[in-house]
């Protein structure tokens, strides 16, 4: 199995080059990973005596890892945090992170790349966030006896990793020193497959709790909303816009749309699909005349988590096709949250619905009626928002559990015992 995997990863760059003319993300990833070695060497990070490596697929996984990164820096100030991303969107959003000493792309998981990466970076601890399981990198770390942790992991029966064809990846689970899972069902499932884990909860709850203290102010957003009710659709895709159309055309509230993909092509498609007078945030200034504009398009990244504080009701996209995006960010502000139907793999969605703070809709008509009721009934809207605030508040504490266990492992390492 590993031989076939290595064959696939060795030819993947050549295959991706064929696709790159048709995908800006693939093109960006290929260009960035082509110089990964030179970039790390130029940073000088390899000379640091206490590197801790976090690998995150994209921005969402980074936000899950961030509370642990911060806790490590607080406990061990001399630690250097190394962050790698697989997704260009994650890298672009956090490439200037003040928390990390180095932020870059993870090269293709080949035998040669993994050995060279571990040799150059020389991490003392390695964290893979959520579902990032890369056999060659894991084996390279294991060969160097570097402690590895899988953070905020979540597993379910239908995952490929538990199928026959996923055997290679399932085998990697036992190579982690500690696996921290988000929920009890994941722990039970891993136990069934003879793999131990620690139920920590989801570090995202600790991360979103910090939003309340670290949220950014956007004066231009205040100018746009003019103290009126606000409907914010975050991380939306064309499928989401389609099901929101009826409500968007009839609502008297201010509308903020934040597409997940902020490419020029996608922004133009969203503007065309809604068919309403819209203004783009990138073209917006204090002098802009907003008369006639009821829709603001957020065409840049890094703002959404703070923007939810400005809205009355939030819609979170992805649950019609791509996968539900972060519903905890609006929930922590005490905002009702609405989303599409495909939520089976998102336990927090089911819990929030049960608590009365979130609503799943299948059709345009369902969406319209749900949103209309929330905006028309202030008591109902506030009760839903408060249910979400309480839910996120009671779920905090995963970072403390993770750190308590990681410190036990780290205390045996000279690097950490001397700090």
Model confidence pLDDT, tens digit, residues 355-411: 999 999 999 999 999 999 999 999 999 999 999 999 999 999 999 999 999 999 998
Model confidence pLDDT, tens digit, residues 27-65: 888 988 899 999 999 999 877 789 999 999 988 899 899
DSSP 9-62: HHHHHHHHHHHGGG-HHHHHHHHHHTTHHHHHHHHTGGG-SSEEEEEESSHHHH
Domains of the chain: 2-201+397-417 (3.40.50.11720), 211-394 (3.40.50.2000)
Model confidence pLDDT, tens digit, residues 247-269: 999 999 999 999 999 999 999 99
Going along 197-286, which residue ranges are E strands?
198-199, 230-236, 254-259, 278-280
Model confidence pLDDT, tens digit, residues 53-100: 999 998 889 989 999 999 999 999 999 999 999 988 888 888 888 999
Q: How far is CA 39 from CA 104, 105, 109, 117, 336, in A?
A: 8, 10, 17, 11, 44
Question: What pLDDT score was predicted for residue 418?
Answer: 54
Is residue 72 within 8 Å of residue 127, measured between CB atoms? no
Model confidence pLDDT, tens digit, residues 185-232: 999 999 999 999 999 999 999 999 999 988 899 999 999 999 999 999
- Mean pLDDT confidence for 306-328: 96
């Amino acid at each position: 199995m590993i031989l076939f995997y290595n064959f696939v990863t060795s030819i993947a760059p050549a295959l991706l080059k064929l696709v790159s003319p048709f995908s800006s993300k693939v093109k960006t990833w290929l260009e960035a990973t082509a110089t990964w070695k030179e970039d790390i060497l130029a940073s000088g990070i390899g000379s640091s005596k206490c590197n801790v490596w976090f690998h995150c697929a994209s921005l969402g996984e980074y936000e899950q890892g961030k509370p642990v990164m911060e806790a490590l820096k607080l406990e061990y100030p001399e630690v250097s945090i190394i962050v790698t991303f697989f997704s260009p969107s994650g890298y672009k959003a956090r490439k200037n992170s003040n928390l990390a000493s180095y932020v870059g792309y993870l090269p293709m998981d080949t035998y040669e790349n993994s050995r060279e990466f571990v040799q150059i970076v020389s991490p003392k601890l390695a964290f893979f966030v959520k579902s990032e399981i890369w056999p060659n990198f894991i084996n390279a770390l294991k060969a160097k006896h570097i402690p590895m942790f899988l953070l905020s992991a979540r597993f379910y029966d239908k995952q490929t990793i538990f199928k026959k064809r996923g055997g290679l990846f399932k085998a990697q689970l036992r190579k982690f020193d500690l696996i921290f899972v988000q929920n009890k069902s994941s722990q039970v499932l891993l136990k069934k497959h003879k793999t131990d884990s620690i139920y920590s909860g989801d570090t995202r709850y600790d991360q979103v709790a910090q939003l309340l203290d670290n949220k950014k102010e956007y004066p231009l957003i205040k100018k746009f909303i003019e103290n009126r009710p606000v409907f914010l659709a975050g991380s939306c895709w064309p499928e989401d816009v389609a099901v929101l159309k009826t409500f968007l055309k009839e609502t008297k509230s201010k509308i903020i749309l934040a597409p997940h993909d902020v490419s020029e092509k996608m922004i133009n498609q969203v503007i065309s699909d809604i068919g309403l007078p819209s203004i783009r945030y990138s073209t917006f200034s204090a002098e802009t005349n907003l008369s006639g504009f009821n829709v603001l398009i957020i065409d840049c990244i890094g703002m959404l988590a703070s923007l939810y504080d400005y809205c009355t009701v939030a819609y979170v996209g992805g649950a019609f096709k791509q996968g539900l995006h972060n519903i905890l960010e609006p929930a922590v502000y005490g905002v009702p949250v609405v989303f599409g139907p495909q939520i089976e793999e998102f336990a927090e969605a089911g819990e929030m619905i049960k608590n009365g703070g979130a609503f799943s809709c299948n059709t345009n008509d369902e969406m319209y009626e749900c949103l209309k009721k929330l905006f028309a009934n202030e008591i109902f809207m506030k009760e839903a928002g408060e249910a979400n605030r309480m839910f996120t508040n009671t779920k905090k504490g995963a970072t403390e559990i993770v750190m308590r266990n990681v410190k036990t492992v780290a205390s045996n390492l000279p690097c950490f015992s001397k700090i």
